[in-house]
Chain A
Amino acid sequence: MKRNYKFGIGAILLVSSIAYLMYAGVEQSSAYYFTIDEFLPRRGAMAGEGLRLAGRVAPGSLVSNTSSKGTEMTFRVGDFTDDAIAEVDTIPVEYTGIVPDMFAEGRDVIIEGTYEDGILHAKSVMTSCPSKYEPELEGQQAAAY
């Protein structure tokens, strides 16, 4: 029995270090995930926090400029809707870098970054790809192609 007890101590040590690593990992890399309509009412409290925001690029809002520093772009993201959105219901985004192929006005995106002074400073822009597997809804399908 004494030796099983030794093994028990080893196992407890191991399990607690896994738990610690997980705790520290969460502290270090967590980010709030919101859709734009969830985010709008809370934006005041979110300054400087790590964010992942999901929304749709507002039509007509994309401005980009390529220079030797890279491609700088600004655009606004709003809720997932095809209807026209008022500018107050969108968040302005600033981003310098490469965007995915599927990125365009009217596309669904997930943006990682921080929100400061009323602007979302994006670290990365990802598009949620609609067509890898079949969308269930016919309407969505029509929109995807």
Chain B
Amino acid sequence: MIELGRQAILIALLIAAYSIVMALLGGWTRRRDFVASAENGALAVWGAVLVAATILLHALVTRDFSIEYVAAYSSSTLPLYYSIAALWGGQKGSLLFWALILTSFSAVVVLQNRHRHRELMPYVVATLMSIALFFLCLLFFITPPFETLAVPAREGRDLNPLLQNYWMTIHPPSLYLGFVGMSVPFAFAIAALATGKLDTTWIRTTRRWTLFAWFFLSLGNLFGALWAYEVLGWGGYWAWDPVENAAFMPWLTGTAFLHSVMVQEKKNMLKVWNMVLIIMTFSLTIFGTFLTRSGVISSVHSFTQSGLGPFFLGFLALILVVSISLLLLRLPMLRSEAELDSLLSRESTFLFNNLILVGIAFAVFWGTMFPVISEAVRGVKITVGPPFFNKVNAPLGLILLFLMGVGPVIAWRRASWAHLRRTFAAPVTTGLVAGAACFIGGIRNYWAIVSFSLIFFVLATIFVEFYRGVRARQAMVGDNFLRALVQLISRNRRRYGGYIVHIGIVMIFVAITGTSAFRIEKQVTLNVGEIFEIGGYELRYDGLEERDTLHIAYLMARLEVYENGNHVDTLLPEKRFYKKPEQPTTEVAIRSTLGSDLYLVLGSYDAETRMATILAYLNPLIGFLYWGGAVLTLGTFVVILPVGATAPAAAYTASPIEATETRVSSR
């Protein structure tokens, strides 16, 4: 079995190389049979990688400790759920998992385009297979996942306890789906450049892929934040750690790309810019992997350094050289066919949105790379901390929030004053009223006031859009409100789904504002029976409790929570002692209510005196992080899922329906 896994990777590697050659030859000589062979090759690569991944998964699930990887990342007492997650718990497995996703996507692209985009496809296949070839080479030559131990281990070393968490099992897969998903629009962009077919075909055909990748990138970042919040025990969810930044940067440029392609579709502008954005986004996914694997930047919860850094750097250089050369070659053909008409237009709002997103990405890049840059320039490593990122990104984030209200509803080309007044009078008023209400309500943090005003402004613009749409439908068709709403959304899912995604993002802004402006933090060391107070709660420490199981020993501090003199909850923040590998971890206890989270950490304790140091946090509005993610998901589904009738699709499917009807009648 193990030998078969190794062979499968070798076979996949050889076929991928073959596919690249045949695709390029086929594209160059316009031999259809060559291209078809390359495409079949891509399917075969997928099959071979699937075999390899299945074998590794099987070994993990059956706990075959003769394989080094299985012995390192699972154990006989590890639950099945985490045994499966161990597939992406270690470096070798995660590279194989990456290759599996990439080749699966390639296969889907090939099958989707059997009869479409015949000119583009050779180069699409060549690009995708080149990326696959890189990962397969790593898997075969550098980090083979099927290495066996000379003497099979009697027991595995178990998955890192920090990774034995719900969010951690779904965080890496979603991030990978996002990272790898960006390869598809990138491959089509390269194909467009290579063939000179530079119209919007490559954008339209990859729109779903881009959205899909963006969605999983968003979820991946969000899951990572929730994991940090629930597991790492420092009370927050985002620390601007290099590992987090590595995943955040492609999200930023990907978001910019998602918006700016709309301008190209509508106005035939920004062609070069869109190329630059997708090249940047894809490069950042590879760069992020380089950053986390190479140890160039020391990160606190970092991946241990490995020898993979130079390979990723080399691959990144290759990507940049090839794509920038192609871009420069086609530059004359990419001239805009239209110009900006006015500063007050949707085009220019989108452009500013793009500038800010890329600006944030650049600032994050700069802050992350600052130690390397300063060492090169001044010979000393200088690091910048979270205050740098917050200081730069808070104002930029607020401008972005503002543009999120303006962009979707301002007129294309040129907005007249009458249009502006009609569109924005109500939302601006709403925003101002909300700001005033915050001030009257006693909030004196001006960042928070501005943020809440903008949040209500954006929500009002979206509400007005829905309201007007529904009223118009009701007037036209006479439906009831709910039916009109459903019809409205399903007739223009891209637009209204987009609004729903925006609502999700606004909710995430609510959580960020709440936690960064109003967070309360307290550290107390208590004797048994002592009471402390935080944000309206009174907590009494009732001593330490112990519990022992086969896998883990627990030590819990019992805290009784009172609100207005009433007992409302019992919280038990823990220390856990995993038995193999012997490792203590901290398990936080959280009381979630609509308005805020009470978050307790058992910092340390004295076994003799039973004194305990408790870290307590009150995180206002953090629940919006979860709900924002859910709304974002809903909005993406509305846009992306091929269900329900959309106006253009309805026309498109007309003939098959007719065909069915004829068949029915003839029977």
Contacts and interface: CB of A to CB of B under 8 A. Distances in A.
Interface of A: 1, 3-4, 6-7, 10-11, 14-15, 17-18, 21-22, 24-26, 28-34, 52, 54, 66-71, 97-99, 101-102, 110, 112, 126, 128-136, 140, 145
Contact of A102 (B348, B389, B583): B583
B388 to A, nearest CB: 4
A7 B351 contact: yes
B362 interface: yes
B386 interface: yes
For the residues of A in contact with B, the DSSP-based class is mixed
A18 B396 contact: yes
Nearest to B68: A134
Contacts of B340: 3-4, 7
B363 A7 contact: no
Given A22-B363, A130-B304, A14 B371 contact: no
Nearest to B381: A33
A130 B299 CA distance: 11
B196 interface: no
A18 B358 CA distance: 11
A134 B91 contact: yes
Contacts of A101: 575, 583-586
Given A14-B356, A70-B525, A98-B613, A131 B160 contact: yes
Interface of B: 72, 90-92, 94, 157, 160, 162-163, 293, 298, 300-307, 339-343, 348, 351-352, 355-356, 359, 362-363, 366-367, 370-371, 380-389, 391-392, 395-396, 523, 525-527, 575, 581, 583-586, 601, 603-606, 609, 611, 613, 615
A134 to B, nearest CB: 5
Contacts of A66: 525, 604-606, 609, 611, 613
A131 to B, nearest CB: 5
A60 to B, nearest CB: 20
Given A22-B367, A98-B601, 6 more contacts: A15-B359, A28-B388, A31-B385, A102-B584, A132-B301, A136-B304
Contacts of B304: 130-136, 140
Contacts of A131: 160, 304, 581, 583
A128 B298 CA distance: 9
Nearest to A1: B339
Q: Point out which of A128, A129, A135 has the most chain B C-beta atoms below 10 A from its C-beta.
A: A129
A110 B387 CA distance: 18
Contact of B383 (A31, A68, A99): A31
A11 B355 contact: yes
B391 A3 contact: no
Contacts of A17: 395
Contacts of B383: 30-33, 52
A14 B359 contact: yes
Q: Which 3 A-B pairs have the closest CB atoms?
A: A98-B603, A29-B387, A25-B388
Contact of B391 (A28, A52, A102): A28
B392 A22 contact: yes
A26 B389 CA distance: 9
B382 A32 contact: yes
Given A22-B363, A30-B384, A32-B381, A133 B91 contact: yes
A21 B363 contact: yes
B387 A145 contact: no
Given A15-B355, A102-B583, A71 B525 contact: yes
A145 B157 contact: yes
Nearest to B615: A98
Contacts of B90: 133-134
A99 B615 CA distance: 12
Contact of A10 (B352, B382, B525): B352
Contacts of B575: 101
Contact of A132 (B303, B525, B527): B303
A136 B339 CA distance: 54
Contact of B366 (A22, A67, A133, A135): A22
Contacts of A145: 157, 581
A50 to B, nearest CB: 9
Contacts of B352: 10-11, 14
A24 B583 CA distance: 41
A98 B300 contact: no
A36 to B, nearest CB: 13
Contacts of B351: 7, 11
Contacts of B298: 33, 54, 110, 128
B303 A133 contact: yes
B456 to A, nearest CB: 24
A46 to B, nearest CB: 11
A28 B382 CA distance: 12
Nearest to A130: B304
Q: Point out which of A6, A24, A30 has the most chain B C-beta atoms below 10 A from its C-beta.
A: A30
Contacts of A112: 385
A70 B605 CA distance: 10
A7 B348 contact: yes
Contacts of A132: 160, 162-163, 301-304
Nearest to A21: B392
